[in-house]
């Protein structure tokens, strides 16, 4: 079943539906418009997890882009979704936006650890993520924002970056996380902001089942304590929720730390390890 938006202003559309049959998760249906594509990396048929990579023929997000992404995971399915490469936000006059809705039915498992975002000079980007979870569902989401292309002298030269994430359990709001960076309005290096660091990472984990996540919290703390030249905070706003905020100076460092925590999630669930996927190199990575 293809799910299409009725909003006439949407330019770039991506719909993904993951099904579950005979103990295996699979890409049941997908619909996309340029520049989006979806690569199915699920090679081993004995592996119960569906591995998908979101690809784009565009070099990044351009002025006036509006991405609309919908992901649905059927009951019992397991999905590991990844991005293709670092996400560039190009020079803009008006701005760009992205809306993502994820629906996780009962007993589903999903993770989406994205490559770092690189905001170019004058870029303005707003993202809204709405995650709707049924009972006994697991969701892990990681995002990293860099200072921009510092080798090109574009350190914090972007106009605005916002990422608003809301998580619902059976229709009830259980988490709201809002990242807002406006370097031209607020002192980006002040207390409560980036405090001299160049990268900020956020990892959210939610488990709506009865199983406690204390072991995962301890694993996440161990991973981050082993990292150098970072500052992090780990909190549990509710027994089923973990939020990790990290300040650092390297995109690859934070990305690998988030992937290590994600592997711990899948190991504790008795699923396979997170599959390593090819990473597209980026010139002047921040």
| Token output for 2 | 């293809």
**Distance in angstroms (rounded) separating the CA atoms of residues 100 and 69:** 5
pLDDT digits (tens, 9 = 90+) for 101-156: 999 999 999 999 999 999 999 999 999 999 999 999 999 999 999 999 988 888 99
| Token output for 206 | 């939610």
pLDDT digits (tens, 9 = 90+) for 22-45: 999 999 999 999 999 999 998 877
pLDDT at 137: 97
257: left (phi over 0), alpha (psi -120 to 50) or beta: alpha
| Token output for 239 | 């027994």
Q: Write the CB contacts of 55 (distance below 8 Å, at least 6 apart in sequence).
A: 36, 37, 38, 39, 84
Q: What SS3 string covers 97-118? A: EEEEEEEECCCCEEEEECCCEE
Q: Write the CB contacts of 160 (distance below 8 Å, at least 6 apart in sequence).
A: 95, 123, 124, 125, 126, 180, 181, 182
pLDDT at 45: 74
Q: Write the CB contacts of 152 (distance below 8 Å, at least 6 apart in sequence).
A: 284
């Amino acid at each position: 079943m293809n799910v299409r938006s009725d909003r006439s202003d949407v330019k770039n559309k991506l719909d993904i539906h993951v099904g579950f049959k005979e103990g295996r998760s699979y890409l049941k249906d997908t619909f996309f418009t340029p520049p989006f594509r979806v690569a199915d990396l699920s090679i081993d048929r004995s592996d119960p997890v569906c591995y998908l990579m979101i690809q784009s023929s565009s070099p990044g997000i351009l002025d006036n882009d509006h991405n609309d992404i919908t992901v649905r995971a059927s009951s019992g399915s397991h999905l590991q979704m990844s991005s293709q490469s670092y996400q560039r936000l190009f020079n803009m006059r008006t701005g760009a936006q992205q809306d993502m809705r994820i629906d996780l039915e009962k007993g589903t498992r999903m993770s989406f650890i994205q490559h770092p975002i690189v905001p170019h000079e004058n870029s303005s980007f707003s993202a809204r993520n709405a995650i709707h979870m049924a009972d006994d569902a697991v969701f892990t989401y990681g995002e990293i924002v860099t200072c921009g292309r510092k080798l090109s002298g574009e350190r914090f030269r972007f106009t605005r970056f916002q990422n608003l994430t809301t998580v619902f359990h059976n229709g009830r709001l259980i988490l709201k996380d809002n990242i807002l960076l406006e370097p031209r309005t607020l002192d980006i290096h002040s207390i409560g902001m980036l405090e001299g660091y160049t990268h900020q990472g956020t990892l959210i984990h939610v488990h709506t089942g009865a199983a406690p996540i204390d072991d995962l919290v301890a694993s996440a703390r161990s991973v981050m304590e082993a990292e150098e030249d970072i500052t992090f905070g780990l909190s549990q706003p509710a027994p089923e929720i973990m939020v990790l905020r990290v300040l650092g100076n390297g995109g690859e460092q934070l990305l690998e730390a988030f992937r290590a925590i994600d592997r711990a999630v899948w190991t504790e669930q008795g699923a396979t390890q997170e599959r390593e996927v090819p990473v597209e190199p980026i010139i002047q990575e921040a």
